[in-house]
């Protein structure tokens, strides 16, 4: 066996072992990773309070309180909108049953499967109510325990950040301590920028979808706007999923073709604004991951860690890219992940908006 073949096999083995480790250690790694990413988000706030002579422990506790208040605000907002949507639940249920019956008739008329046979297929291997309740209770307990771990890790990362920094500096050789410090700063900065940019993006999408869906006459427009905004956590797929759900529920509620076309048009316009204006302004140049790599890491994140993996895929990949860009043998992988420079000139009005935004930021 040639040397190059042996090297390739070793690299594939390392990739396999890393993937296996990420999968089997996910119960430990997921809360740790979420806590670390959230800690970078609140790091500037913590530093600003410490600069004003607030003790480190109190500053970290205030950051945790701000995080909990944000979660409570979003939860209350969703609860308010779900309560509003629940008033139409009886109508939605009736319309859904009618649509399902029409679908069964269509299948019987065109495919020849009787309604009784369709019901048997749907009810086959379905868990009972007791089993479903046990699954829900187990899931809620797991979410609660992991949430407590996330808070604990977030506190520890913020409180012991200096100690962790010194640990990594001691790992590096004397001539590379400055570069190691720069790598760690870039990793924390790109995570901050992505999380802050994502929060700003979600708020902008809430506003735009609320205006668009309200103009189209969509019932519970604000609820679907919140849903589409929150699903921005999953790039590319999230907004499509939210818009599809909006169109389907509107169809069940009796929406006509003009409203459905308007919902799709709203999505298209917002995607144009998001791609050409919001992403360059809000996310900035630091999160440089091309769409091909984005889709791959989202799929791998879901396979390895489920829904938390989808949430963590982009910031963790951005961190990995920074490490690859600073280590010579790994630079080709950083190039593979990074955005492709097409050389296309952006429209003049985009440049004006971006320059004005940068001026206001400084």
Residues 207, 325 within the same domain: no
Token pair 């309740």 is found at 133
Alpha-carbon distances of 2 from 5, 16, 36, 119, rounded to whole Å: 5, 21, 42, 60
Listed residue (180, 183, 191) closest to 287, CA to CA = 191
Residues 297 and 270 in one domain: no
Q: For residues 150 and 35, is the Cβ–Cβ distance under 8 A?
A: yes
Q: Nearest Cα to 337, choosing from 303, 297, 302?
A: 297
307 and 328 within one domain: yes
Please tell me the predicted confidence (pLDDT) of residue 121. 61
Query: Residue 245: what pLDDT?
Result: 87
Co-location of 298 and 262 in the same domain: no
Residue 197 falls within a domain, yes or no? yes
Q: What is the pLDDT of residue 74?
A: 85
What is the tally of structural domains in the chain? Answer: 3
Statement: residue 54 has pLDDT above 90: yes
Residue 184 is assigned to a structural domain of this protein: no
> Do 37 and 195 form a contact (C-beta atoms < 8 A)?
yes
Q: What is the pLDDT of residue 351?
A: 59
The whole domain housing 322 covers 288-342
Please report, for the chain, how many H helices and E strands are present, in that order. Answer: 15, 0
Are 68 and 50 in a shared domain? Answer: yes
> What predicted TM-score, i.e. pTM, was given to this entire model?
0.79
Residue 321 structure tokens: 């890219």
Average pLDDT of the chain to the nearest whole number: 82
Q: Name every residue whose Cβ is closer than 8 Å to that of residue 187 and which is 6 or more positions away in sequence.
A: 319, 322, 323
Identify which of 188, 190, 168 has the alpha carbon closest to the alpha carbon of residue 179. Answer: 168
Residues 6 or more apart whose Cβ sits within 8 Å of residue 166: none
**Residue 44 domain-assigned (yes or no):** yes
Q: Is the pLDDT of residue 95 over 90?
A: no
Let me know if residue 81 belongs to a domain.
Answer: yes
Q: Which residues contact 90 (CB under 8 A, 6 or more apart)?
A: none
Considering the domain architecture, whether residues 273 and 299 belong to the same structural domain is answered as no
Helices 291-305, 3-24: axis angle to 10 degrees equals 50
In contact, 191 and 315? CB cutoff 8 Å:
yes
pLDDT for position 126: 54
pLDDT 10s digits, 147-191? 999 999 999 999 999 999 999 999 888 888 888 998 898 888 888
**Cα atoms found within 13 Å of the Cα of residue 108, Cβ hemisphere only:** 12
> Given 282, 309, 333, which residue is the final one in a domain?
282
User: In the predicted model, is pLDDT for residue 207 greater than 80?
Assistant: yes
The answer on 292 and 278 residing in a single domain is no
179 part of a folded domain: no
Are residues 153 and 58 located together in one domain of the fold?
yes
Q: Which helix (H) or strand (E) holds 238?
A: helix 237-252
User: Which residues are CB-contacts of 167 (< 8 A; sequence separation ≥ 6)?
Assistant: none
**Contact predicate 243/264, CB 8 Å:** yes
Q: Are residues 50 and 71 in the same domain?
A: yes
User: What angle separates helix 89-110 from helix 237-252, to the nearest 10 degrees?
Assistant: 90
Q: Which of 350, 157, 202, 195 is nearest to 287 (CA)?
A: 195
**How sure is the predictor about 339, in pLDDT bands with cuts at 50, 70 and 90?**
confident
How many Å apart are CA 179 and CA 270, to the nearest integer? Answer: 40
The reply to whether 64 and 152 lie within a common domain is yes
Tell me, yes or no, whether 98 lies in a domain.
Answer: no
**76-80, 121-125, 322-326, range with greatest mean pLDDT:** 322-326
**Nearest Cα residue to 289 out of 315, 271, 255, 265:** 315
Any domain includes 278: yes
Are residues 259 and 152 both part of a single domain?
no
**Within a domain: residue 4?**
no
Domain finish residue from 282, 303, 319: 282
Q: Are residues 269 and 223 in the same domain?
A: yes
- The predicted-structure confidence for 232-273, as pLDDT tens digits, reads as follows 887 777 878 888 888 888 887 777 888 989 999 999 999 888
Q: How many other CB atoms are there within 10 angstroms of residue 304's CB atom?
A: 20
pLDDT tier, 79 (very low <50, low <70, confident <90, very high otherwise): confident
């Amino acid at each position: 066996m040639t040397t190059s073949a042996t090297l390739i096999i070793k690299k594939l083995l390392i990739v396999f072992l890393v993937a296996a480790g990420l999968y089997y250690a996910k119960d430990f790694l997921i809360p740790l990773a979420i806590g670390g990413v959230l800690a970078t988000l609140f790091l500037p706030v913590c530093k600003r309070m410490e600069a004003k002579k607030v003790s480190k422990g109190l500053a970290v506790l205030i950051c945790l309180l701000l995080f909990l208040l944000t979660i409570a605000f979003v939860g209350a907002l969703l609860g308010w909108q779900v309560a509003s949507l629940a008033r139409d639940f009886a109508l939605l249920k009736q319309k859904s049953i009618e649509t399902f019956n029409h679908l069964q008739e269509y299948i019987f008329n065109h495919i020849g499967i009787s309604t009784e046979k369709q019901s048997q297929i749907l009810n086959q291997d379905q868990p009972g109510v007791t089993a479903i309740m046990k699954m829900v209770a187990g899931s809620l307990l797991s979410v609660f325990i992991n949430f407590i771990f996330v808070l604990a890790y977030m506190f520890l990362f913020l409180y012991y950040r200096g100690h962790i920094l010194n640990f990594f500096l001691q790992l590096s050789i004397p001539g590379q301590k400055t570069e190691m410090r720069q790598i760690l700063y870039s990793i924390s900065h790109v995570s901050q920028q992505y999380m802050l940019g994502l929060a700003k993006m979600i708020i902008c999408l809430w506003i735009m979808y609320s205006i668009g869906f309200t103009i189209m006459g969509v019932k519970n427009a604000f609820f679907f706007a919140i849903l589409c905004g929150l699903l921005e956590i999953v790039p590319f797929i999230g907004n499509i999923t939210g818009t599809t759900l909006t169109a389907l529920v509107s169809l069940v509620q009796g929406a006509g073709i003009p409203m459905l076309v308007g919902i799709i048009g709203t999505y298209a316009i917002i995607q144009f604004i998001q791609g050409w204006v919001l992403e360059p302004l809000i996310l900035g140049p630091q999160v440089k991951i091309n769409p091909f790599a984005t889709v791959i890491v989202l799929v791998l994140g879901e396979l390895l860690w489920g829904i938390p993996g989808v949430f963590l895929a982009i910031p963790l990949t951005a961190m990995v890219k920074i490490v690859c860009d600073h280590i010579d043998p790994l630079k080709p992988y950083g190039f593979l992940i990074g955005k492709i420079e097409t050389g296309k000139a952006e429209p003049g009005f985009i440049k004006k908006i971006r320059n004005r935004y940068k001026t206001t930021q400084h």
